[in-house]
């Protein structure tokens, strides 16, 4: 055996994970109550006591997705599992799907739908702006046989919040199912599944729900379930088949795959915290802290990427100032202040920094800490700032909203 073989590698005695302040695009901070919930005893996936907890999770998800009769459950896997479950369950090979794209995650939908064998109509609009409904309207005229329209509600790559009412109405007028990525929006800004007539929406536990990564909470309309149950061919993914998963989360409650018990308990606690805070209070908290962060970043002379009326509270991308080393600043935030922020994705790689204030990470003290850290780091990398200006601007905003 060589010295570098895995079996020869030393294993440190105590597991030690540094205490980071997670201000990137996820994972975000986890509430200690959630970590406690994960330390409960192990239990069987059909134990009557566990079934009660599954019912709690379904009910709480109904509240958070704001739906009365959609099936609500948590898929095993991260947000991308929710995306893949939707595309592979709702589309058969040859079905037409229109994907509305104005950022990185829209492109991921195209990749997945193509693998499913669907006829993919990819509508690409400018990154950093909202997707224009007129583009969808034209595409629907050209593709009358469309089965599904898919879009991202909160584009984490560009910090844009997409209005969904017009998109939903257009999809419905053309008899298409409507799928919404709510990975970064659920628990962070308003998402009204019933009111916006959505057929399928999915999220992730690690963004605005205050839990570790590992589950994808989803809501499926009865119309979507009926469509899946009347398919001619079974979904290409067995594991992510939404109807098979629904048969475990709901009657007849049969075994499909082993439920990740500790993660489900974590989600139950995370959702209880969301409901205790209240959705409206939670959305207001995200808006207030984001406003303070933007004021601080602007006081540093930085420009927020999306225009004012399109901004998402959970993620604030700013253009990296000319001549400043992207990686160096992020590395120093991490090593000197324990702060993680996000880098740019896709065409924004090397061009933007993304500050996430999601769920448990949306706190005034984190806003002030990160701005203060930037005020200290930036002058040492050749970008002069007035000491105290950013923190002062953020404090003023916090005092006024």
Ligand X SMILES: *Cc1c(COP(=O)(O)O)cnc(C)c1O
Residues making contact with ligand X (CB under 6 A): 26, 78-80, 83, 105, 152, 154, 156, 181, 183-184, 204, 213
Directed axis angle between helix 242-249 and helix 222-229, to 10°? 120
CB of 208 to ligand X, least distance (A): 10
CB of 283 to ligand X, least distance (A): 17
The 10 Å Cβ neighbour count of residue 382 is 11
CB of 8 to ligand X, least distance (A): 33
Which residue, 126 or 325, is less far from ligand X as judged by CB? Answer: 126
Which residue, 102 or 390, is less far from ligand X as judged by CB? Answer: 102
Which residue, 167 or 393, is less far from ligand X as judged by CB? Answer: 167
User: Tokens 């995370």 appear where?
Assistant: 270
**H or E, element range at 150:** strand 148-152
Which residue, 157 or 395, is less far from ligand X as judged by CB? Answer: 157
Determine the 3-state secondary structure of 178 from DSSP: strand
Query: Which string of b and e fits 188-197 if b means at least 16 CB within 10 Å?
Result: bbebebeebb
Cα separations (Å) of 244 from 45, 237, 254, 307, 329?
Answer: 15, 11, 9, 42, 47
In whole angstroms, what is the distance from residue 333 CA to residue 123 CA?
37
In whole angstroms, what is the distance from residue 133 CA to residue 13 CA?
56
**H or E, element range at 223:** helix 222-229
Which residue, 71 or 75, is less far from ligand X as judged by CB? Answer: 75
CB of 181 to ligand X, least distance (A): 5
In whole angstroms, what is the distance from residue 178 CA to residue 28 CA?
28
Residue number closest to ligand X, CB atom: 79
Which residue, 140 or 264, is less far from ligand X as judged by CB? Answer: 264
CB of 79 to ligand X, least distance (A): 3
CB of 184 to ligand X, least distance (A): 4
């Amino acid at each position: 055996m060589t010295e570098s073989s895995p079996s020869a590698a030393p294993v440190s005695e105590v597991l030690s994970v540094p205490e980071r302040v997670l201000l990137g695009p996820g994972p975000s901070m986890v509430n200690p109550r959630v970590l406690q919930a994960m330390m409960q005893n192990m239990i069987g996936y059909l134990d009557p006591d566990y079934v009660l907890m599954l019912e709690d999770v379904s009910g709480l998800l109904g509240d958070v997705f704001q739906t009365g009769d959609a099936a609500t459950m948590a898929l095993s896997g991260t947000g991308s599992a929710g995306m893949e479950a939707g595309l592979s369950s709702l589309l058969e090979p040859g079905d037409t799907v229109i994907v509305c794209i104005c950022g990185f995650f829209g492109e991921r939908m195209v990749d997945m739908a193509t693998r499913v064998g669907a006829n993919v109509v990819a509508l690409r609009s400018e990154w950093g702006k909202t997707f224009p409904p007129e583009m969808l309207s034209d595409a629907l005229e050209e593709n009358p046989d469309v089965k599904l329209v898919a879009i991202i509600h909160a584009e984490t790559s560009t910090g844009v919040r997409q209005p969904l009412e017009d998109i939903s109405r257009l999809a419905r007028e053309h008899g298409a199912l409507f799928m919404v990525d709510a990975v970064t929006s659920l628990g962070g800004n308003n998402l009204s599944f019933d009111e916006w007539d959505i057929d399928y929406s999915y999220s992730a536990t690690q963004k605005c729900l205050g839990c570790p990564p590992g589950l994808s909470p989803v809501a499926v309309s009865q119309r979507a379930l009926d469509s899946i149950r009347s398919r001619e061919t079974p979904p290409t993914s067995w594991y992510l088949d939404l109807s098979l998963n629904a048969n475990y989360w709901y009657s007849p409650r049969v075994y499909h795959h082993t439920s990740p018990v500790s993660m489900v308990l974590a989600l139950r606690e995370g959702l209880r915290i969301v409901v205790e805070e209240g959705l409206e209070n939670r959305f207001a908290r995200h808006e207030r802290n984001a406003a303070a962060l933007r004021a601080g970043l602007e006081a540093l002379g930085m420009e927020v990427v999306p225009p004012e009326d399109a901004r998402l509270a959970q993620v604030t991308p700013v253009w990296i100032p000319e001549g400043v080393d992207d990686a160096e600043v992020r590395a120093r935030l991490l090593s000197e202040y324990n702060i993680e922020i996000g880098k740019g994705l896709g065409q924004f790689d090397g061009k933007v920094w993304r500050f996430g204030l999601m769920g448990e990470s949306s706190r005034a003290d984190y806003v002030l800490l990160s701005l203060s850290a930037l005020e200290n780091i930036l002058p040492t990398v050749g970008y002069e700032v007035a000491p105290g200006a950013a923190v002062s601007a953020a404090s003023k905003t916090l005092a006024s909203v």
